Structure 1
Amino acid sequence: MTLGSRNEVDQARQADPVGQAESSAQPEQQEQREQREQREQPEEAKGPTEWNEGRHGVGPWEGPWPEGPEADKYDPELLREGDRRNVVDAYRYWRREAIKGDIDKRRHSLHIAIENFENDANIGTVVRTANAFAVDTVHIVGRRRWNRRGAMVTDRYQHLRHHESVDKLIAWAAEEDLTVVAIDNTPGCVPLETAELPERSLLLFGQEGPGVSAAAQDAALMTCSIAQFGSTRSINAGVAAGIAMHTWIRQHADLHNSW
């Protein structure tokens, strides 16, 4: 830098002392801003829906707390703090065990099974839908672990059962007098839209991609397909399960028991 250039820089600094101060303060302000944003980040430990403040939930119980024989079904902490869980209004402030027990009185004879040999991420969606339809039990075949995030905490109110293999699932279904119906889109399937599903059904779904295994189809009374009219080769497994469950509901459920 020449002498003339150095003098020009010194003159600029003297002419704009505020700008120089702002420049030196920028790193400190940036650090403070990052710290503030970090403090404002939501806590990851809180689960989806059950604990957030979103559009679900009610505040603390207003008025005297419930008394008498029905009081045991209420959770004192929820009465005191409010209920932010993803439950229907009829179950507000209820203990988890009380909710599950009440659903047990109205559960259907329908069972759902899904193969989980590659840790299928759709299982959470299946469990959530099964809870909405008061399915008796959701059966996980293969890997015991699965991604529960998609269940939106409904797995706490839904009966779940694990089977190491399809053979063990089929053997269990035979002991319980359940008819196995596979859901897939392979050639020769019975259209789900015209099929009559047995009342004591176990609807079996394959994982995303491979579909229902050959062993499962061999053991099933029939394999049903869902009519498609577009370009995709298959429907998402979680969506297909919801369609099939609702088909059973339309044929067998007492709609007077719905919310």
Structure 2
Amino acid sequence: MDILQRSIVVIAHNLRSVHNVGSLLRTGEVFAIDTVYVTGFTPYPAHPGDERDPKLRDRQTRQLAKAAAGAERTMPFERHPDLVALLSSLRDKGYTVAGLEIDPDAVTLTEYTPPPKVALLLGDEVAGITPALREQCDLLLRISTYGRKDTLNVSVAAGIALHALRTREGSAG
């Protein structure tokens, strides 16, 4: 399978930082991600039909635009009110739901052979993906670390994971 034929979507659940969301949109654009879904309290850029308070909408859009460098206007994103329903819908469309998390049962990115359709779930910057949401994933992925620290900023971790998912040869389906 041609690596550019792989369909990758990202689900940003309960990210707190507008800068992380902006960076994620920019990184998604770089790695040709199909869609970034925002769920929970994750901030997001202004969009047609946006019902947020105009001051909040404009402030969040302005702040995340600094990190997004224009990707807030070009990277497809969707706000989804129900994460569990979104995961079910993606699974029905043939996506494998992979949570990016530090977990003893997680597969390292270097050991993972991505399928043709992958949905990467990212959790909040402090607690990560909750245990209940981990159970909603088909598998968990982790980034191997070698220094004294074992955690990364969520947008940095997403960039590493998206590079691996986009460039690794995958399974045929």
CA displacement at 1:125 relative to structure 2: 0.8
- Which whole-Å CA distance do the structure 1 matches of 2:137 and 2:86 have between them? 11
Specify the code of the residue in structure 1 equivalent to 2:132: A
Specify the code of the residue in structure 1 equivalent to 2:10: I
SS at match of 1:110: strand
Q: Residue 190 of structure 1 corresponds to which residue in structure 2?
A: 107
Deviates more, 1:126-135 or 1:111-120: 111-120
- For residues 96-117 of structure 1, what are the alpha-carbon distances to aligned partners after superposition, in whole Å with 9 as ceiling and x for unaligned? xxxxxxxxxx775111111126
- For residues 26-51 of structure 1, what are the alpha-carbon distances to aligned partners after superposition, in whole Å with 9 as ceiling and x for unaligned? xxxxxxxxxxxxxxxxxxxxxxxxxx
Q: Residue 132 of structure 2 corresponds to which residue in structure 1?
A: 215
- For residues 159-209 of structure 1, what are the alpha-carbon distances to aligned partners after superposition, in whole Å with 9 as ceiling and x for unaligned? 101122321221221232211001111222111111112220001111211
Selected match of 1:164 from 81, 104, 108:
81
- Which whole-Å CA distance do the structure 2 matches of 1:140 and 1:215 have between them? 18
Q: Residue 11 of structure 2 corresponds to which residue in structure 1?
A: 113
Aligned residue pairs total 148
2:97 aligned with 1:199, yes or no? no
2:115 aligned with 1:232, yes or no? no
2:37 aligned with 1:139, yes or no? yes
Compare the two structures and name the one with the higher helix fraction: 1
- Give 5+ residue unaligned stretches, structure 2: 45-59
Specify the code of the residue in structure 2 equivalent to 1:137: T
- Which whole-Å CA distance do the structure 1 matches of 2:106 and 2:127 have between them? 16
CA displacement at 1:233 relative to structure 2: 3.4
**What TM-score results when the alignment is normalised by the length of structure 2?**
0.77
- Which whole-Å CA distance do the structure 2 matches of 1:107 and 1:155 have between them? 23
Specify the code of the residue in structure 2 equivalent to 1:231: R
Give the aligned CA root-mean-square deviation in angstroms.
Answer: 2.1
- Which whole-Å CA distance do the structure 1 matches of 2:69 and 2:41 have between them? 20
Higher relative CO (Cα under 8 Å, sequence separation at least 6) belongs to: 2
- Which whole-Å CA distance do the structure 2 matches of 1:144 and 1:215 have between them? 18
Q: 1:240 to 1:117 in 2, by over 3 A?
A: closer
Compare the two structures and name the one with the higher strand fraction: 2
- Which whole-Å CA distance do the structure 2 matches of 1:162 and 1:107 have between them? 24
Q: 1:177 to 1:205 in 2, by over 3 A?
A: same
Specify the code of the residue in structure 1 equivalent to 2:36: V
CA displacement at 1:221 relative to structure 2: 1.3
SS at match of 1:193: helix
Do the aligned partners of 1:140 and 1:160 also contact (CA within 8 Å) in 2? yes
Do the aligned partners of 2:37 and 2:80 also contact (CA within 8 Å) in 1? yes
Q: Residue 48 of structure 1 corresponds to which residue in structure 2?
A: none
**What TM-score results when the alignment is normalised by the length of structure 1?**
0.53
Selected match of 1:153 from 53, 70, 74:
70
- Which whole-Å CA distance do the structure 2 matches of 1:166 and 1:131 have between them? 22
Q: Residue 130 of structure 1 corresponds to which residue in structure 2?
A: 28
- Give 5+ residue unaligned stretches, structure 1: 1-105, 254-259
CA displacement at 1:153 relative to structure 2: 1.6
SS at match of 1:203: strand
SS at match of 1:212: coil
Question: Which structure has the greater CA radius of gyration?
Answer: 1
